[in-house]
A and B are shown apart, each in its own frame.
Chain A
Amino acid sequence: MSSFDIGLTGLDAARKGLDVVANNIANAATEGYHRQRVEFTPAFARQDGNTMMGGGVDISSVTRIIDNFLEQEILRQQSLLSQSSQESSMLKSIEISLGELGSGIGLSVAIDDFFNALSDLSAHPDQIAYQNQVLSAGEAMAGQFRTLGDFLNDLELQIKTQVENVVDQINSLADQIASLNENIQRIEMNGSEANNLTDQRDQLIMQLSELAGVQTQAREFGVVDVSVGSVPVVTGTTSTHLEAGLKTETQLGITPAGATVYETSIDGGQLGGLLALYNGTVDDIHTDLDTLAASIIQQVNQYHVQGVGSEGSFSELSGRTMPTGSIGDFEPPVSSGSVFIRLTYTDPVTHAQTITRHQIDIDPTTDTLTTVAAAISAITGLSAIVSSNRLQIQADSNYKFDFIPAALPEPTDTTFTGSPPPEISVSGIYTGDENQTFTFTVVGSGEVGNGTLELEVRDGDNNLIDTLNIGSGYAAGDLLDFDNGIKIAVGSGTLNAGDSFEVDVFANTDTSGLLSAIGMNTFFSGTNTSDMSLASDMMDSPGRVASSMGTDLTDNGNVQQLASVRNLEIDDLDSMTISQFYRKLVTDVGQQLSAKQTVQTNNEALMQSLINQQSNISGVDINEEAAQMLVFQQMFQAMAKYLGTVQNTISTLYEIF
């Protein structure tokens, strides 16, 4: 009864064809589904006499319509898109937090406000309103730095946590892919097709490619191996887990679980983006901001420690709490040099002042705060202690101290042989770059204001820098200026050839950097973005804003220097000014974000095109499926009709009997 067999194979084929069509339509909107096709082959033929007769139809297979090369390209582009999207998103939040050009007030305004407040103070150095303005602008700027520092710290923590979450997801997906590989292998080894399982697994690999760049390798029986970076996370039916961790203090990486072979750079996916941000972009921005904050702190403090505010010289001063041990370990670093303390004694009865200067030599390799305190305590009128690792200097009654660079009112090392000798008075603030000693030698002999009496002035290198007339034409007591900020006046008296005196002049009274490092009369405390703030003893003491550096403590020399910090081209800032460096940082972030957004847009367009191509090849077209359905429906109807015809034929035969 081969006629019935043929009919039955036809009916079965039509039914299975309809099943595949139904499955396709049912999965028309299923993500990752590939259209399936039933493959028919003519059934085994039989010989009827000399004629070969067909045996109906066989269903050879149900196959997925797929372009493997295209699928690989989609995986790759998906990873790149995911990475660029991750980086864009983070850079966008960094750009927003910087707050430049938007409605918020960014750090650039705070920096400008601080230096403008100093500039304002230079016109009114003793007025409390302007001093308060400097303090509030300084605190506002430090606050902005801290906010940014906190934001970047949080962002780094957030990235680290996100990397751990992504690694967990990768591990979970690897487990599922390995499990599906096992099922697919079992089914395919039995000679069947595991199309839907394969689609499920491929969809998981697609999800994995969003998390990290993946490489796949097809093996027999439908199994696929998957690697992330150089780590094979799925090998056949087994999976290997990953772990996230710090390779160095600032470098985050991934490693196979239990090992310490960290990879800090992964191409593609969220993981690639997150690692690139943590180890590169965010780290660079954080480092740059820290450098900027440290430079402002260091430059401002370096000038501030040498000045005094309208409160005048100090009766006592405290530094900040330092780590124990050698001074050489302090941050910012202390170098070999000296600290020059200016000490003023005021006679309680006559109110006459005696001003002296004392040099404390600093050797960072051997000195500690205790040895420095001992050296200061050896100066009559001062005592210093180290309490809780803070240096504290206290002046005795009737004494005051400061670190201003103004020349002492009297010369040192005087050798006068005339009688009576003249009184020499010195004033002014040295405008040169290096501390040195000027030597004044008398040429000629006689009374000041008479004859051809002159003073030769030589600098520390014994170069003759000026010759001053103190003979006829010079009225004793008149000021003599030799164009470096220092002025002297020679009183009435007699001088002889070869008489001499010296004047020590100072450009820097803290050549070691110790005062800045230990927070002695500093404006800011802290060393980086996160801990920058006003020095605690400045907060409520506007009169401590060190505006002056001249002998009478009323000038605006120091605050002018402080205001000029904004114009300094600082080595640590790649020879840029503070504002230039920050602007570059901000626009670099903008540039990077703009570039990433362009890459993201391109990736999206490319991905869109690839997905369309994939849809054209592997997607379900309802109309096409409907047409197929009509074919199978009519095939089924025709085969049923055929079976009816065969039945009628046989019935006709039965009627003969």
Chain B
Amino acid sequence: MSGILNTTYNNVSYSLARQSSVFFRLQEQASTGDRINRPSDDPSDAYRVLTLDTENRSLETYIDKLSDMSNTLDTSSSIIQQIVSAINQVKVNTTQVTSGVYDQASRDRTAEAINDILEQIIQLANTQYNGQYLFSGSNTSTVPFVAEYSNGEITAVNYQGGQDSRSVEVAPGVSAVAYFNGDEMLRSDQRDTPVFEGTTGAAAGTGTSSVTGNVWLTVTYNGTNYELSIDDGATSVVVPTSGNENVAVTDSRTGKVLYIDASGITTTGVELVRVPGTHDIFNTLISMRDILKNGRNLSDAQIQELRTSSIDSLDELSQLLLQKEVSIGSKSGFLENMKSNLESLKSNNQDESEQLKQVDIAQVAIDLSRQEALYQMSLAVAGKIMSLSLLDFIQ
């Protein structure tokens, strides 16, 4: 035994300092439950933990957005269902008129009912969810459909929402549309050759017409030539005697063109021209209402024929909306799946992060008792050594 005072003191203070530092670390681990409380505790694992934490915060945002988008799509889907129900109601009403014996007064009542349903559909199409219009495309703060009235009746419904749908990133690199362009949503876009429902002999020309939905063709005769108009006579085109297989007739109100093969025209009159695959719900209903009201003084047979063809248009739209509903439903399902995937990824990340961070409490408890024993031993040994002195034995 050297017994040198300073050596003993140095050893004791060094050991106690070391053990205190270990004690502090173990105590911090026990109280926080974490092995990594700062990057220097384990730099490489700390980098991973920070990465996982950042990913999780990002995933949380994506999951919230997916939830939001999915609810939005579900609401849109429900609105479309209600619109389809409303269309079916119109079909029922119109079929009753077609199959039964109805006078003009009855037809007027049905027309009013269709007008009410039209109002209802406009309201549905203008639904807001979370303060945003569902069918206004990217312009979610503007009401998408605005009706024009004349004598208390809707004469046109104009779309004033955004032209583009709103796409939102719902997962890293994955975007989804939740706010649709209502104009596109409620309009068929499978343009087909125009169908002439009347008896004037007019037929579709070779050019691709740009008119949509239903237009009324007015055929008049000026004594020499037939004249054609699709804007109720505001402007008309004189049919040339030759080269009349593809006459362009323009609607002065919209600038849209209907190409007509006028070579078979044999008589004057007003006839409905349908452009299948281009109908929009509002103009179809307005057109049906007007047919029932018979403002153009059509014959019963014509009205009957037009009602039947209008029901075809409604079927086309109904079919279209059902397709959209299915499409939205599957998008919502896709988003729900993605949400579950991201939630599971987040949960895995959290587990990994916690595993990296968390301390083995049992190990800490063992280490703490070991350190306690060592600490006591250091103190006991120091006391023993430092109390021994030759001076005690000198008389």
Contact = CB atoms under 8 A, between A and B. Distances in A.
Given A101-B50, A475-B210, A109 B2 contact: no
Given A113-B57, A120-B61, A583-B50, A626 B5 contact: no
Contacts of A627: 390
Contacts of B5: 28-29, 619-622
Nearest to B141: A126
Size class of the contact patch on chain A: 35 or more
Interface of B: 2-7, 9-11, 14, 36-44, 46-47, 49-51, 53-54, 57-58, 60-62, 64-65, 68-69, 130-132, 138-142, 162-164, 166-169, 172, 178, 191, 206-210, 246, 248, 250, 255-257, 259, 357, 389-391, 394
B39 A556 contact: no
A624 B3 contact: yes
Q: Is the interface of B mostly helix, strand, loop or mixed?
A: mixed
Given A124-B130, A450-B246, 13 more contacts: A100-B46, A116-B57, A119-B62, A126-B141, A475-B191, A550-B164, A554-B162, A555-B164, A579-B54, A583-B47, A587-B46, A615-B10, A619-B4
Contact of A427 (B39, B50, B163, B169): B163
Contacts of B65: 119-120, 123
Interface in A37-68: none
A619 B54 contact: no
Interface in A539-576: 550, 552, 554-556, 560, 563, 567
Contact of B6 (A28, A554, A623): A28
Contacts of A102: 37-38
Interface string A107-125: 0110011011001101110
A615 B6 contact: yes
B223 to A, nearest CB: 28
A232 interface: no
B61 to A, nearest CB: 4
26 contacts: A100-B38, A102-B37, A108-B53, A108-B54, A112-B54, A112-B58, A119-B62, A126-B132, A127-B131, A428-B164, A447-B248, A472-B207, A473-B208, A475-B191, A492-B255, A555-B162, A556-B168, A586-B46, A587-B44, A587-B47, A593-B40, A608-B10, A619-B7, A620-B5, A622-B391, A630-B394
Nearest to B189: A478
A470 B167 CA distance: 28
B316 to A, nearest CB: 17
Contacts of B9: 29
A608 B14 contact: yes
Contacts of B178: 123
A590 B206 contact: no
Interface string A424-459: 000110000000000000000001011000000000
Interface in A511-559: 550, 552, 554-556
B208 A100 contact: no
Interface in A584-619: 584, 586-591, 593-594, 597, 604, 608, 611-612, 615-616, 619
Nearest to A588: B43
A474 interface: yes
A382 interface: no
Contacts of A623: 3, 389-391
Contacts of A593: 39-40
A590 B39 CA distance: 5
B6 A116 contact: no
Given A555-B138, A615-B10, A626-B390, A621 B58 contact: no
A29 B9 CA distance: 10
Given A108-B50, A450-B206, A621 B394 contact: no
Contact of B39 (A101, A560, A615): A101
Given A108-B50, A449-B210, A477-B210, A491 B10 contact: no
A579 B7 CA distance: 51
Contacts of B42: 594
A591 B47 CA distance: 10
A476 B257 contact: yes
Contact of A474 (B208, B250, B256): B208
B257 A449 contact: yes
A473 B3 CA distance: 108
Nearest to A613: B7
B7 A586 contact: no
Nearest to A625: B390
Contacts of A477: 210, 255-256
Contacts of B256: 476-477, 492
Contacts of A615: 4, 6-7, 10
A608 B178 CA distance: 70
A128 to B, nearest CB: 10
A560 B3 CA distance: 75
The 3 closest A-B pairs by CB, nearest first: A590-B39, A554-B139, A593-B40
A476 B254 CA distance: 12
B51 A583 contact: yes
B340 to A, nearest CB: 19
A361 to B, nearest CB: 32
Contacts of A611: 6, 10
A615 B206 CA distance: 113
Most-contacted residue by chain A among B49, B65, B210, B246 (CB, 10 A)? B210
